[in-house]
Amino acid sequence: MDRRSLGWVFISRMMGIISFLIVVVLANILTFYISYPTYHAAVQFLNTNFWLLLIIGIILFVGDIFRAFPFPLDLPYPFIRATGSVFIIAFILRIFEWVDHLTANNLYHYVWLISFVIVPIVFIVVIISGYYEILQELWASSRFEPAAAPADGTDVPGAASPGITTTGAKSWDEIGAEFRLMLYDIIHRFREEIHRRDR
């Protein structure tokens, strides 16, 4: 998935929230001209769940804002997105409850019981997929590749010395050195992103 710019995300999501507010206002105005009971019931349902829908929009908006930031500032994104998914499931449950009041099918009770299984599964899946997406981007942009030696000739922290011979099996020291190289590269690239945005 292509990372959108912060300005694009802010403008597009704000337009979505404003459009939702306009739809709610127009729906309430039309109740003076439309006399169908079902329409009035739908508008009443929309008004009752107005704040829930607005909270969902704000949560997803904040998640997309964090998604637009470079690593590691985008790490809260999967958790925020998963929280928004839980609120979406809560709204879907309210839809089933509203339909039950109109049709008397008694489906809400069964869906409500199933939700105790669905909610944690969806929450975990969204978090895992979000962090997998972030790691995939890091891998694709070669963020985990060893950093080049600085121009002043100083050694990169954790870099192996020329005299070390490599074998097929890696020792714990070599694994630790690679881990330090990875951390150094992440911090180095993070500083580059911050400096680039400050220019």
Q: Report domain extents, the chain.
A: 6-140, 151-199
- Give residue 123's pLDDT: 92
- Give residue 9's pLDDT: 79
Contact (Cβ atoms closer than 8 angstroms) between residue 184 and residue 156: yes
Q: What is the pLDDT along the chain (199 residues), one digit of tens a residue?
A: 456 677 777 888 889 889 989 999 999 999 888 888 888 888 998 899 999 999 998 998 888 888 877 777 778 888 999 999 999 999 988 888 888 877 767 777 787 888 888 889 999 999 998 888 878 877 776 544 554 545 555 554 544 444 444 444 445 555 556 556 666 666 666 666 666 655 5
- Give residue 188's pLDDT: 62
Angstrom distance (rounded) from CA 87 to CA 175: 42
Contact (Cβ atoms closer than 8 angstroms) between residue 158 and residue 180: yes
Angstrom distance (rounded) from CA 64 to CA 77: 7
Outline where 69-107 has alpha helix (H).
77-103
- Give residue 144's pLDDT: 45
Residue 31, both tokens? 């109740």
- Give residue 198's pLDDT: 57
Angstrom distance (rounded) from CA 9 to CA 18: 14
- Give residue 125's pLDDT: 92
- Going from the C-alpha of 86 to that of each of 1, 40, 42, 115, 176, the distances in angstroms are 23, 28, 23, 10, 39
